[in-house]
């Protein structure tokens, strides 16, 4: 049978997309690899998908105007992206777009951040319920970064950081982000 396009959805969107007629449908095919475009003002300290490190850089990961584009396998159901983001200076942000097949999810308040890294923070099973929702700082190509980012053309991703990390007017330099997303068969593409 033809391979169905895969869609990815935030957890809150999944229920709305689960069409009743799709329930009990044939076993889903393996999803195509995900492609992530990401940059951090200033440095991607580490990147993990489902607990496995994903290599970035070297030049692109330490320059906020340059985007890292990486591909990696995802699994049907729940997946977790984890990013250690490090700021230098006074303006901090993370901008990302995750794509599987024809569907994309972008950095948003659905990402969760924390100022330190408890053991296992990058692992899918880690409980991030106590972490803060990310704070938005403008939608690309807006925000203070404007159009100076290369490699994010066409993306409407939101610059995010962690508001609770701003203390006494100083931005906490390191934020650990987690983003949990679902990979499902292309429900809306099904007849
Ligand atoms: Ca970069
Ligand atoms: Ca900065």
Q: Residue 145 CA: which ligand is closest? A: 2
89 CA distance to ligand 2 centroid (A)? 5
Could you state, in order of their start, the residue ranges of all structural domains in the chain?
6-189
Q: Does domain 6-189 have CATH number 2.60.120.260?
A: yes
Separation of 158 CA from ligand 2 center, angstroms? 16
Ligand 2 center from residue 43 Cα (angstroms) = 9
Query: What is the pTM assigned to this prediction?
Result: 0.81
pLDDT in tens, the chain (191 residues): 455 555 555 544 444 344 444 444 455 567 888 999 999 999 999 999 999 999 999 999 999 999 999 999 998 889 999 999 999 988 899 999 999 888 899 999 999 999 989 999 999 999 999 999 999 999 999 889 999 999 999 999 999 998 765 555 666 789 999 999 998 875 322 22
Q: CA-CA distance, 112 to 53, in Å (whole number)?
A: 19
């Amino acid at each position: 049978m033809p391979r169905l396009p895969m869609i990815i959805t935030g957890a809150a969107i999944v229920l709305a997309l689960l069409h009743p007629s799709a329930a009990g449908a044939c076993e889903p095919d393996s999803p195509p690899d995900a492609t992530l475009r990401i940059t951090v003002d200033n440095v991607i300290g580490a990147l993990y998908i489902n607990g496995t490190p994903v290599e970035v850089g070297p030049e692109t990961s330490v320059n906020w105007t340059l985007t890292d584009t990486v591909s990696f396998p995802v699994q049907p159901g729940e997946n977790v992206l984890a990013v250690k983001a490090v700021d230098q200076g006074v303006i901090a942000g993370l901008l990302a777009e995750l794509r599987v097949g024809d569907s994309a999810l972008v950095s948003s308040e659905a990402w969760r951040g924390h100022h330190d890294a408890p053991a296992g923070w990058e692992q899918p099973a880690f409980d991030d319920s106590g972490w803060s929702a990310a704070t938005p700082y403008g939608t690309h190509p807006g925000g203070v970064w404007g159009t100076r980012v290369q490699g994010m053309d066409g993306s409407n991703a939101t610059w995010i950081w962690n508001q609770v990390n701003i203390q006494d007017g100083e931005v906490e330099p390191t934020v650990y982000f987690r983003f949990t997303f679902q990979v499902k068969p292309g429900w809306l593409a099904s007849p």
